[in-house]
Each structure stands twice: as structure tokens, then as C-alpha cells.
């Protein structure tokens, strides 16, 4: 009967930004269950319970051992009553009846399908659910639904977009993005962010940060890039959002702050090197046309001023939970406000400049956490 050393449980911080969380998860059985519970609460717009399960999932992803007894979680933060109940059931029964209930719930199943479509969120799902719709097939068949441009693209490329993006695909898209950007701005810095920067081998999209060192800014860069892709026939969808950043304005204090950078949510056509049309030596031309040699990929491009680059990089690298806890730590423990643009010290009433992520952690009095240790 070995006890979990108290040096592990005693010192665990409630903030994931004070923990190192790699992709090596010893407690997937539990964290998968928590994420289903959290998602169900998200669908019910119960933010408090949703966050409770997400925080518990982050904590168990951090633990360097598999939880097998209730004793293992004694003294740990982020374990509320609901979470404890689910852990107990999984330890005793191997599965949780609460989670099974959610997985069989008609509303959860419908929302899960609806929100898997690009451009469809909880609000739209709610509307469609009330109309009696339940599956993506039913949505596709319903010609009376009024769809946004984004949702139309979501249905058009549905199968490609629900299948995950691989590291190889991310590398291929990185080359395209870097090549295109450098034709317009040779000195521009293009960095992959999001899950792939945290070392993930799979993602639901690919995120890039683009900045131009030096004073020169180019508001037209993003437009030039997408226009070129359009000409090359590579652009399947694009929604450019212009910058709304206001100098001297205090950082946003919202937990899930959207930022004000100029950005673009796109769907790109990535030609698959594996699929070779020419090898199909068929006499019927119409057969050849049916072979699809490309995949639709979601790509996010964000343009940042060079002075804000480190903050943007920290925010866009995620994970979402890690970012939330950084902001919560900044305001609750340091009287500072952090967002993707900067860090404001409320006591000194100044913005703290940073040229690297390391400097931001130092401003916050935190030990540096590498990107691959931010998988909270
Ligand atoms: P995502 O691409 O949504 O998530 P991810 O890359 O971690 O995982 P996935 O494989 O599912 O794509 O967002 C990346 C990070 O960027 C995430 O931590 C939240 C942050 N983010 C912002 O800071 N502002 C935004 O407007 C958006 C959409 C994301
Ligand atoms: Mn991503
Ligand atoms: Mn995501
Ligand atoms: Mn993204």
C-alpha cells in the first residue's frame, strides 16, 4: 500500500500555468469522461460546471501517475463534488453512469453533431434542436434552413473538416503559408501556433501568427495572401476580420477574450501527394474527374504588430485551459490584466513590454513553461 508522496499532491497549484502538462496522459479514462461532462454543460450554457470539469481534466492530465484509488486524489485542488463522484464510479465500475447517460442523451447527441459543423455553435444548435432536427444528415437534407456563408462551407467540406489534420498536413500547409507570405514581405515571421506548437500530432485546424519585424506594418498583407490563393484556386473559404485594436485601451478582463488582431479564418485546398490521378489509366474521362486529390483544411491566420508578438504567441499557443489560467493567475495573484495584446500592471498603472514568452512569465513571477508543457 504505497501512499502518493505528499511532495506530489501537496504542492500542486490550482493554476495550470504553474504546472507542466505534457501530452503524456496517465488518466485518459478519467479526462475523456470529464470532457464529455464539460461539453454537455457547455451545450446547456452552464459555464460554471463546464469549467469545473475542464479544470479537473487539466489537473488529471498533469498527474504523473494513473489514479487507481480515491486516496490518490486526496489533497488535490480542482476536484469538486461532481468530479469526485465521477472518479469514484470509474474507479469502482470501470465506467461512469453519469457519462453514459450524457452519451445516450438525445439533446447531447444532436448538439455534438451540429457543433461539429464549421460555423455552428450552441445558439444555432439550440434553434435547430427546437425545430426537431437531430442529425447532420437531416440538416443537409433540409433546404429551408437559412445558413451563413460559413455554415454553407461547413456542410460543403464536412467530411474533410471532421477528419483531423495530421502533422504532415500541417507541415505542408506551413510551407505554403511561408512561401506566400514571403513573396509579399520577405522579412515577415510566420510561426505555427495552437496545438501543433504544443507538440500535438493531430489537430482540428492549423493556426499561424504572422508579424513583420521593424516598424513597417502592412494592413494589406492578409488581403494579398488570400487574393493570391484565390487566383491559384486554393481558397475554398475565407473570412477576413479587420483589426479593432485601440492603443492605450486596457486589456480585456473577460476570461475567454477574443482578441482584436486582424485575422482570417480560411479553408484551404491541400493537394494530397498520395493521390495520383495520372496513375488511373482508364479510358473513361468521367471516371477520372471523380477522383478527389485534395483535402479541405481549416487554417487560421493572425497578423500582429511586432511589439505585441510575444503576447499573441502566448495566447494563440494555448491550450485554452492554460490561457484561461494565465489570465486568472495574473488578475487574482498579481493584480495584472493579461490578454493577447499585452500585460497591464494595475498597481504601477503601466503596460509591461515583452519581447519573448519568457519575459511574460517573468513579469508574472511564474517559472517558464515550454509550449509542449502547456497541454493542460
Ligand atoms: P484552437 O485552434 O481553437 O485550439 P488548439 O489549436 O489548441 O486545438 P485544435 O487542435 O482543436 O485546433 O485555438 C488555439 C488557441 O488560440 C487556443 O488556446 C485559444 C486561442 N485563441 C485566441 O486566443 N483567440 C481566438 O480568437 C481564438 C479563436 C483562439
Ligand atoms: Mn488549432
Ligand atoms: Mn479547437
Ligand atoms: Mn484555430
pLDDT in tens, 313-351: 999 999 999 999 999 999 999 999 999 999 999 999 999
Both 170 and 286 in a single domain?
A: yes
The whole-number pLDDT of residue 365 equals: 98
Domain span holding position 186: 165-314
Active site residue 32: no
- Best of 161, 203, 207 to mutate for ligand 1, by most ligand atoms within 8 A of CB? 207
Alpha-carbon distance values, 35 to 40, 106, 109, 275 (Å) = 9, 18, 14, 36
Both 238 and 321 in a single domain?
A: no
Identify the CA nearest to 195 among candidates 300, 327, 28, 319: 319
pTM for the full predicted model: 0.94
Nearest CA to ligand 1 atom 27: 258
Both 198 and 136 in a single domain?
A: no
Output the CA 328–ligand 1 centroid distance in Å.
18
Both 256 and 326 in a single domain?
A: no
Both 247 and 325 in a single domain?
A: no
The whole-number pLDDT of residue 328 equals: 97
Q: How many CB atoms lie within 10 A of CB 277?
A: 10
The Cα 362–Cα 318 span in angstroms is 18
Q: Could you tell me which residues are annotated as the binding site for Mg(2+)?
A: 205, 207, 300
Both 64 and 119 in a single domain?
A: no
Nearest CA to ligand 1 atom 21: 316
Q: Which helix (H) or strand (E) holds 314?
A: helix 309-317
Active site residue 227: no
Residues of the chain with pLDDT under 70: 1-10, 216, 254-257, 276-289
The whole-number pLDDT of residue 218 equals: 79
CATH, residue 118: 1.10.150.20
Q: Is 318 near ligand 1, meaning CB less than 6 Å away?
A: yes
Q: What is the β-pairing status of strands 235-241 and 343-345?
A: unpaired
What ipTM, to 2 d.p.?
Answer: 0.95
Assigned domain for 158 exists:
no
Both 10 and 44 in a single domain?
A: yes
Nearest CA to ligand 1 atom 8: 195
The whole-number pLDDT of residue 10 equals: 61
Closest atom of ligand 1 relative to the 300 alpha carbon = 2
The whole-number pLDDT of residue 289 equals: 66
The whole-number pLDDT of residue 198 equals: 98
Output the CA 305–ligand 1 centroid distance in Å.
19
With b meaning 16 or more CB within 10 Å and e meaning fewer, what string describes 195-214?
A: bbbbebeebebbbbbbbbee
The whole-number pLDDT of residue 299 equals: 98
Both 143 and 247 in a single domain?
A: no
Active site residue 345: no
Amino acid at each position: 500500500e504505497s501512499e502518493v508522496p505528499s511532495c506530489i499532491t501537496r504542492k500542486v497549484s490550482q493554476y495550470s500555468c504553474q504546472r507542466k502538462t505534457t501530452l503524456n496522459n496517465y488518466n485518459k479514462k478519467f479526462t475523456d469522461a470529464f470532457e464529455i461532462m464539460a461539453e454537455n454543460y457547455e451545450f446547456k450554457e452552464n459555464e460554471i460546471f463546464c469549467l469545473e470539469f475542464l479544470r479537473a481534466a487539466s489537473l488529471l492530465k498533469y498527474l504523473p501517475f494513473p489514479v487507481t484509488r480515491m486516496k490518490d486524489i486526496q489533497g488535490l485542488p480542482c476536484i469538486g463534488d461532481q468530479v469526485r463522484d465521477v472518479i469514484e464510479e470509474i474507479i469502482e465500475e470501470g465506467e461512469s453512469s453519469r457519462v453514459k447517460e450524457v452519451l445516450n442523451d438525445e439533446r447531447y447527441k444532436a448538439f455534438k453533431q451540429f457543433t461539429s459543423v464549421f460555423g455552428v455553435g450552441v445558439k444555432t444548435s439550440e434553434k435547430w434542436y427546437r425545430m426537431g432536427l437531430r442529425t447532420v444528415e437531416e440538416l443537409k437534407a433540409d433546404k429551408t434552413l437559412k445558413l451563413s456563408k460559413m455554415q454553407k462551407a461547413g456542410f460543403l467540406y464536412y467530411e474533410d473538416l471532421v477528419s483531423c489534420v495530421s502533422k504532415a498536413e500541417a507541415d505542408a500547409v506551413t510551407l505554403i503559408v511561408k512561401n506566400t507570405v514571403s513573396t509579399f514581405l520577405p522579412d515577415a515571421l510566420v510561426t505555427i501556433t495552437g496545438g501543433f506548437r504544443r507538440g500535438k500530432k493531430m489537430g482540428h485546424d492549423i493556426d499561424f501568427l504572422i508579424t513583420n519585424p521593424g516598424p513597417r506594418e502592412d494592413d494589406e498583407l492578409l488581403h494579398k495572401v488570400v487574393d493570391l490563393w484565390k487566383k491559384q484556386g486554393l481558397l475554398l473559404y475565407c473570412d477576413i476580420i479587420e483589426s479593432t485594436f485601440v492603443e492605450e485601451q486596457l486589456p480585456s478582463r473577460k476570461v475567454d477574450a477574443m482578441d482584436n488582431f486582424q485575422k482570417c479564418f480560411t479553408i484551404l485546398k491541400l493537394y494530397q501527394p498520395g493521390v495520383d490521378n495520372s496513375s488511373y489509366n482508364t479510358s473513361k474521362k468521367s471516371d477520372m474527374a471523380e477522383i478527389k486529390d485534395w483535402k479541405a483544411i481549416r487554417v487560421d491566420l493572425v497578423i500582429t504588430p511586432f511589439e505585441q508578438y510575444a503576447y499573441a504567441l502566448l495566447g494563440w499557443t494555448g491550450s485554452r485551459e492554460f490561457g484561461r489560467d494565465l489570465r486568472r493567475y495574473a488578475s487574482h495573484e498579481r493584480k495584472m490584466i493579461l490578454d493577447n495584446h499585452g500585460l497591464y500592471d494595475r498597481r504601477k498603472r503601466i503596460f509591461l513590454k515583452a519581447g519573448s514568452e519568457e519575459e511574460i512569465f517573468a513579469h508574472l513571477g511564474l517559472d517558464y513553461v515550454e509550449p509542449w508543457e502547456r497541454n493542460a
